[in-house]
Structure 1
Amino acid sequence: MSTSAKIILRKKPNSKGLYPLAIRITKDRRSTYKHIGHYIELEDWDGKELKIKKSHPNAESLNNLLASKLSEARKGLIALQTNNKDATARQIKKEIYKPTSSLTFFDFADEHLEALEAENKINRHSTDSAWLSYIERYCKTRHLAFQEIDERFLKKFKIFLKGSCTLTETSAMNIMVLIRLLFNRAIKDKVVSKEIYPFGTGKFKIKFPETTKTGLSGKEIKSLESCPNLSYMERHSLNVWLFSFYFAGMRISDVLFTRWSQIYDGRLHYKMGKNSKLLSLKIPVKVEKILLSYISDKQNDDDFIFPEMKKADLTDPKDIYRKKKVANKKFNDHIKKIAKRTGIQKKVTMHIARHSFGNIAGDTIHPLMLQKLYRHSDLKTTLNYQANFIHKEADDALDSVVNF
């Protein structure tokens, strides 16, 4: 009896209205199907030539893939016939194709979140959980095969994120980065083939939009320093902001975890929470004045300088994360009020302290020294960051042309 393998487009659309490509294996007029893992629009299929029309953006690469899969199936049939193996269409399919993993995208997503929680990366866990919720909302199910995540899926998903969800381009790209991360892990674990990888040259591109970083000027910071009639919480919030600024834009989490024991020999010695790098900085006179206002609350050298983390359960990463988040919001609320009172029009938050240091440093401090202060692993990172605040050469060039 005859046995054959043929490429077809199955007429059972998925939830997105796309139709699956498959290899149909027929034996004795009974057929079974092996899905390729790609879905296309009905109008992109040439039923006569049994191939994808040029109207599809990836017609050539997909047709090459289909030819490869068909060749693989036919070779398998020849091998079975050579070995005189007689079987049903379903049994032939099992013989030709080795079982594949049943792990889905969300299986890998759950493993990713579990790993972040085990490593106490609560901030990242919270962010990635939020990104994954958008994917689940779009798919309306947690059963998402990696084979479904092709270029068309990503393009339509991006439209959904920016349209229905009103996310920014940056947020949409961050979600795509997470999808790419999990896809790469699936390939590494041999759950999916590299052939269906939807990212890279000639495929879906992840490109972040250029952003501007705005810092305060020296004059604006002086206006904050001299702002009168502050309440206790306003003064405390400003102290934390200035402490960050005076130490080259020290991150808020590092500020809150600074202990009295880290201050000796006129220097602050600390390990950055983001990359665990050690840093030793001279304590400026302005910081000494801030420290004097908190020393009365000091019980021992191991106390935190600022009070926000004193009641945190340091064995519970989630409690630490919550208290840092609450503290940051409190500081931002008070700093915004102070900035408004002093006539500052720019957006002022705790993170702007870091941008402000970069803005005032401009091109007056050598990049290698700034790299040390910022604790960047790569000088290129420092140069790219500082480029946001260096305008003198461009300004001079403009003046040389228009001032005639």
Structure 2
Amino acid sequence: MATFKFLLYKSNVKRDGLYPVCLRITKNRKLKYISLDMYAREDQWNEEAARYKKDKRATPNYEKYNALLTHYEERKDSLLRKFTEGRVDWTLNQFEEQFLGVSKRGKVYDYFLKHIGILKETNHIGNAKAYERTLHVLGKYDKKINERLFQEIDLKYVNAFNVALEKDRCCGNTRKYYLKTLRALLNKAIKDNEASRITYPFGNGGFEISSLEEETRKRYLLSEDLTLAKNSYQDDYTMEYTRRLFLFSYYCFGISFIDMATLTTQNIEKLETGEHIVYKRQKIKNQRGVKTIKIPVTETLREILDWFKANTPLVGNYLVPVITKNYRGEQLYNHIRSRYVRYNKNLKKLGKTLGIERLPLTSYVSRHTMAMTLQNQSVSREVISQVLGHTNLETTNVYLDSFETSVVDKVAELL
């Protein structure tokens, strides 16, 4: 049997004679005091009624304070009913956590900031930036986002947010990005008991994020353009350095820029068949069951690595010359992002220098070209999926479906 009482916590008096107003819980001969962020002097408090005295001269706002205490009492009763219905033999700490958790529920903006802070503290900088970008966009659309409660983020709100993004000429894939991030935050908030499923705007009958997906043009080099990139040595140092980074990505099974940038000598391992670059993709390395990607260090790759070692200022034990200082955490992430922007600008210049007119060179082109090359050589999609580092074949199928045109071309010849 548990007992509850509002009282003044006499063991912690302030200099002005005010005592904290607490909820005291007694269960199994153990005590727990929960501070309610309210204060009173002894002459303001009615011990028997467990409320502020009805005296406006002593406490001008006693009605407001007593109403708040009644609200806390209702919350306590509601929580006890919940425990009883669930047949939960609750502990004092469990009661305190849920009692205070209920009082703190609801603020979307605060929860965003809290989650972003946790991600940064645990060095998930890229993920934190995704939430920061989404919160920034929400703030542009919703001037009251600082005060918005989770219960207000319903289907009507999400539909309006999507329309606002569309009016700002955001493409479907960009809108999908922001709404997926918002959905992930809502799911976590529900799990943390900060939000309710009652107003959840996604799922069955809710907003369908998948409907926003647009097929993007697959950016790969034709074989003659790939040959140009492989064999056209550049006299300009920046262009040659850029060309070799592009080819390094291509020969490393289309490794992404951030994964390429963070490779070190520790990623090179000797296996039964020789030296390999072994790593997990930054994008999914924290997911369950993610496998390592093993790239054989071929003679071509070795030549590129040797060129980097002889001609570029490698920092520490990094394999490629992207990171130029010993940064950590968010500073490192921002450094790589700035180098990524510069790399793509240089790739566009390189493409023009090589006379590649079909498409502008970007960091993604090396990855897409690698996948297309393997498919044209009749490599199975299961193998392509493995070297791309995809966690399932469905992702690879979406990635490759619009690549292959040779079969359609042959069908057209039959007409």
TM-score (norm 1): 0.69
Does structure 1 residue 327 correspond to structure 2 residue 343?
no
Partner of 1:194: 197
Partner of 2:215: 210
Specify which of 369, 390, 394 is matched with residue 356 of structure 1: 369
Partner of 2:277: 269
Q: What is the alpha-carbon distance in structure 2 between the residues aligned to residue 195 and residue 124 of structure 1?
A: 27
| 1:140 partner SS | coil
Partner of 2:224: 219
| Conservation of the 8 A alpha-carbon contact between 1:261 and 1:301 | no
Q: 1:351 to 1:178 in 2, by over 3 A?
A: same
Partner of 2:348: 336
| 2:293 partner SS | strand
Q: What is the alpha-carbon distance in structure 2 between the residues aligned to residue 122 and residue 230 of structure 1?
A: 37
Structural RMSD (CA): 3.0
What 5-or-longer segments of structure 2 have no aligned partner?
A: 1-66, 80-101, 286-290
Specify which of 135, 160, 165 is matched with residue 161 of structure 1: 165
Deviates more, 1:370-379 or 1:129-138: 370-379
The one-letter code sitting in structure 2 at the alignment partner of 1:352 is: V
Specify which of 222, 243, 249 is matched with residue 248 of structure 2: 243
Higher relative contact order (CA 8 A, sep 6+): 1
The one-letter code sitting in structure 2 at the alignment partner of 1:342 is: L
Specify which of 144, 147, 154 is matched with residue 143 of structure 1: 147
Deviates more, 1:353-362 or 1:93-102: 93-102
Deviates more, 1:207-216 or 1:137-146: 207-216
Deviates more, 1:275-284 or 1:153-162: 275-284
- Cα deviation for residue 245 of structure 1 reads 0.2
- Cα deviation for residue 303 of structure 1 reads 2.2
Q: What is the alpha-carbon distance in structure 2 between the residues aligned to residue 112 and residue 261 of structure 1?
A: 32
Q: Deviations over 1:199-228 (max 9, x none)?
A: 123222212223232211221111122335
Q: What is the alpha-carbon distance in structure 1 between the residues aligned to residue 347 and residue 189 of structure 2?
A: 45
Q: What is the alpha-carbon distance in structure 2 between the residues aligned to residue 93 and residue 228 of structure 1?
A: 75
Q: 1:260 to 1:174 in 2, by over 3 A?
A: closer
What 5-or-longer segments of structure 1 have no aligned partner?
A: 1-87
Q: 1:396 to 1:149 in 2, by over 3 A?
A: same
Q: What is the alpha-carbon distance in structure 2 between the residues aligned to residue 299 and residue 262 of structure 1?
A: 19
The one-letter code sitting in structure 2 at the alignment partner of 1:230 is: D
| Conservation of the 8 A alpha-carbon contact between 1:227 and 1:338 | no
| Conservation of the 8 A alpha-carbon contact between 1:259 and 1:304 | yes
| 1:269 partner SS | strand
Q: How many aligned residue pairs are there?
A: 310
Q: 1:181 to 1:279 in 2, by over 3 A?
A: closer
Q: Deviations over 1:310-338 (max 9, x none)?
A: 5222xx21221122112212221111111
Partner of 1:33: none
- Cα deviation for residue 261 of structure 1 reads 5.1
Q: Deviations over 1:101-146 (max 9, x none)?
A: 4431112211221121022121222232111111122221211112
Deviates more, 1:381-390 or 1:113-122: 381-390
| Conservation of the 8 A alpha-carbon contact between 2:314 and 2:320 | no
Q: Deviations over 1:149-195 (max 9, x none)?
A: 222221221121121x3322211122111222222223223333322
Q: What is the alpha-carbon distance in structure 2 between the residues aligned to residue 287 and residue 330 of structure 1?
A: 23
Partner of 2:118: 115
Q: Deviations over 1:245-285 (max 9, x none)?
A: 01110121222233345446553222124244433322233
Q: 1:390 to 1:300 in 2, by over 3 A?
A: closer
| Conservation of the 8 A alpha-carbon contact between 1:312 and 1:323 | no
Q: What is the alpha-carbon distance in structure 2 between the residues aligned to residue 167 and residue 294 of structure 1?
A: 39
Q: What is the alpha-carbon distance in structure 1 between the residues aligned to residue 143 and residue 239 of structure 2?
A: 45
